[in-house]
C-alpha cells in the first residue's frame, strides 16, 4: 500500500461537488489510481470497464510517453473514498511592501489555497482520463522513469453507497459526453441517465436469467465465435431494450431515453417491460426458456449456435430483427408485447434453412452475413403480415437463388 503523500492544492466547489486541484507526481498516479470499477458492485461490469482500457489505445499512449520529450497531458478527474484525507490551509498571508494588498484577497481565495494530505489508505479511481491512466500504468510497468514529471488532477469525494455510486457514475458520463463521445459499452456500464443502460445493468446484476454468463458481459459488441454459453451480449441486450422502450414511449428518436433519466417508477415500468418480453420469448420458444433456466447454459447454447447454424434468436441479428417485428406487429394489431410474441411463435427459427439461408447465413463458410440484415427484417415483416413489399421476392431471389419462394405468412 502506498504511503502518505502531501500535495499542493487549490480547493473549490461547483454545484454539489467540492473538489481539489492538485499537482501529483506521475509515478504516484500510476501507483495509486485505479479504473472506475469502484463505482460498480457487480464484478462482471467492473471487469468490463477494465478490459475496455487495456488494449491498443493504452499501448499507444504508453509509447507516446516513452518517445516524446515534449509529452503533455491535460488534467485527470479522480474520485477518492476511504482513508483520511486532510486539508491544510496556508493562511497568514503577508505583503511586506504594501499590507493593504491583503484586503484584495477574498476570504474564499485565502481558504482555497493549501495542501491536501493523503494517508495512503484512500481508494482513488479515474472518472475522466481513464485511457491516459491506462497508458501511464503500462509505461510504469515497462520501467519508464517519469522523474520529476507531475500532472494536474481534480480530486472529488466519492461516497461508496448506492446513492454515491449513482452520483459518481453520472459525473463520469457527463465528463465524457461533453468531451469525446463515450463508447457504447462504457455507457452501458456506467451511464446513470440512459434508460437502456440502467435497466440492462439492473437485469444482469439482479436477475439470474440475465446474469453473466447467460448474458455475455464482454468488451465486444458482437458475440465471439468461441462463446457457446450466452444467449446474447450485453450490447445486444441494450439494443433490444432500446427497441422496446422506443415503442413504449411512441417516439422514433432515443435522445430522451439516453439523456434524461426517467423517474424511478418509470424505470421500474421499463424493467417490467423488459422482463415480460423475455419471459414471453421463453414461453414461445423452448430454446430461450432452456438457456435462461438451465444449470449449465452452455449445454443449451452449443446446440443452438454453432458452425452449422442454429436458432435465429441465439444470433444478435436475429434477436434484434425479431424484436423489431414484434413491436411493429403489436403496434399494428393493438396488442401488448407478450401477446404479439405469442402470435409470432410460429416464426421459423433455423438459420440454416429458408428463408434465412443465403440471406444472413452463409452455409459454405458457416458464418453470419451482416449485410443481409435489412432483407431479414423485410422477410420477417412479410411473415408477420406487416405491409406490402412488391420488391421483396425479387430481392430475395437475388441473394438466395432464383428457385426460392417467399415464406408463408404466420399471422
Report pLDDT for 88. 85
pLDDT bin (cut points 50, 70, 90) of residue 93 is low
Q: In whole angstroms, give the CA distance from residue 323 to residue 221.
A: 18
Report pLDDT for 157. 86
Q: For residues 113 and 410, which has the higher predicted lDDT (pLDDT)?
A: 410
Q: Over 70: is that where the pLDDT of 53 sits?
A: no
Report pLDDT for 254. 92
Q: Over 90: is that where the pLDDT of 100 sits?
A: no
Give the residue carrying C-alpha cell 434484434.
320
Which of 199, 227, 243 is closest to 315 using CA atoms? 227
**Mean pLDDT across the stretch 382-395?**
95
Task: Please work out, in degrees rounded to the nearest 5, the angle formed at the alpha carbon of residue 240 by the alpha carbons of 187 and 411.
Answer: 170
Q: In whole angstroms, give the CA distance from residue 357 to residue 375.
A: 12
Contact between residue 160 and residue 81 where contact means Cβ atoms under 8 Å apart: yes
Report pLDDT for 57. 76
Q: In whole angstroms, give the CA distance from residue 113 to residue 57.
A: 36
Residue-level length of the chain: 411
Among 113-117, 196-200, 240-244, 343-347, the minimum mean pLDDT is found in 113-117
Q: What is the pTM of this model?
A: 0.70
Task: Please work out, in degrees rounded to the nearest 5, the angle formed at the alpha carbon of residue 180 by the alpha carbons of 175 and 184.
Answer: 90
pLDDT bin (cut points 50, 70, 90) of residue 47 is low
pLDDT bin (cut points 50, 70, 90) of residue 231 is very high
Report pLDDT for 313. 98
pLDDT bin (cut points 50, 70, 90) of residue 79 is confident
Contact between residue 203 and residue 185 where contact means Cβ atoms under 8 Å apart: no
Among 107-116, 127-136, 390-399, the minimum mean pLDDT is found in 107-116
Helix pair 264-284, 234-249: axis angle to 10 deg: 110
Give the residue carrying C-alpha cell 452501458.
188
Rg (CA), the chain: 27
Give the residue carrying C-alpha cell 396488442.
335
Contacts of residue 166, defined as CB under 8 A and 6 or more positions apart, other chains included, come to 192
Q: Over 70: is that where the pLDDT of 52 sits?
A: no
Helix H or strand E encompassing 50: helix 43-51
Amino acid at each position: 500500500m502506498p504511503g502518505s503523500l502531501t500535495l499542493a492544492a487549490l480547493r473549490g466547489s461547483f454545484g454539489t461537488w467540492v473538489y481539489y486541484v492538485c499537482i501529483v507526481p506521475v509515478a504516484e498516479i500510476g501507483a495509486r489510481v485505479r479504473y472506475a470499477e469502484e463505482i460498480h458492485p457487480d464484478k462482471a461490469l467492473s471487469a468490463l470497464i477494465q478490459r475496455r482500457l487495456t488494449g491498443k489505445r493504452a499501448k499507444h499512449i504508453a509509447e507516446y510517453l516513452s518517445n516524446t520529450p515534449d509529452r503533455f497531458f491535460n488534467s485527470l478527474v479522480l474520485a477518492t473514498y476511504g482513508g483520511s484525507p486532510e486539508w491544510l490551509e496556508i493562511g497568514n498571508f503577508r505583503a511586506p511592501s504594501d499590507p493593504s494588498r491583503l484586503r484584495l484577497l477574498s476570504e474564499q481565495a485565502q481558504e482555497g489555497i493549501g495542501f491536501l494530505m493523503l494517508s495512503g489508505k484512500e481508494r482513488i479511481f479515474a472518472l475522466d482520463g481513464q485511457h491516459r491512466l491506462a497508458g501511464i500504468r503500462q509505461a510504469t510497468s515497462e520501467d519508464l522513469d517519469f522523474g520529476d514529471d507531475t500532472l494536474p488532477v481534480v480530486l472529488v469525494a466519492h461516497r461508496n453507497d448506492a446513492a454515491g455510486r449513482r452520483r459518481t457514475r453520472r459525473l463520469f458520463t457527463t465528463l465524457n459526453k461533453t468531451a469525446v463521445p463515450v463508447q457504447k459499452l462504457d455507457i452501458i456500464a456506467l451511464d446513470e441517465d440512459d434508460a437502456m443502460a440502467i435497466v440492462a445493468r439492473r437485469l444482469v446484476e439482479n436477475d439470474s436469467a440475465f446474469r453473466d454468463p447467460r448474458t455475455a458481459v464482454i468488451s465486444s459488441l458482437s458475440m465471439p465465435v468461441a462463446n457457446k454459453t450466452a444467449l446474447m451480449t450485453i450490447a445486444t441486450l441494450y439494443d433490444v431494450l432500446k427497441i422496446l422502450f422506443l415503442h413504449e414511449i411512441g417516439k422514433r428518436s432515443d435522445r430522451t431515453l439516453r439523456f434524461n433519466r426517467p423517474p424511478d417508477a418509470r424505470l421500474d415500468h421499463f424493467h417490467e417491460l423488459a422482463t415480460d418480453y423475455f419471459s414471453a420469448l421463453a414461453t414461445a420458444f423452448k430454446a430461450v426458456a432452456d438457456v435462461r433456466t438451465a444449470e449449465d447454459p452452455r449445454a443449451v447454447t452449443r446446440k443452438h449456435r454453432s458452425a452449422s447454424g442454429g436458432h435465429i434468436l441465439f444470433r444478435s441479428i436475429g434477436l434484434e430483427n425479431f424484436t423489431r417485428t414484434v413491436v411493429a406487429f403489436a403496434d399494428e394489431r393493438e396488442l401488448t408485447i407478450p401477446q404479439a410474441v405469442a402470435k409470432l411463435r410460429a416464426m421459423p427459427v433455423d438459420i440454416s434453412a429458408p428463408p434465412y439461408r443465403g440471406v444472413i447465413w452463409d452455409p459454405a463458410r458457416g458464418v453470419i452475413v451482416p449485410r443481409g440484415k435489412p432483407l431479414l427484417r423485410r422477410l420477417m415483416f412479410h411473415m408477420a403480415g406487416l405491409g406490402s413489399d412488391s420488391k421483396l421476392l425479387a430481392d430475395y431471389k437475388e441473394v438466395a437463388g432464383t428457385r426460392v419462394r417467399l415464406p408463408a405468412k404466420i399471422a
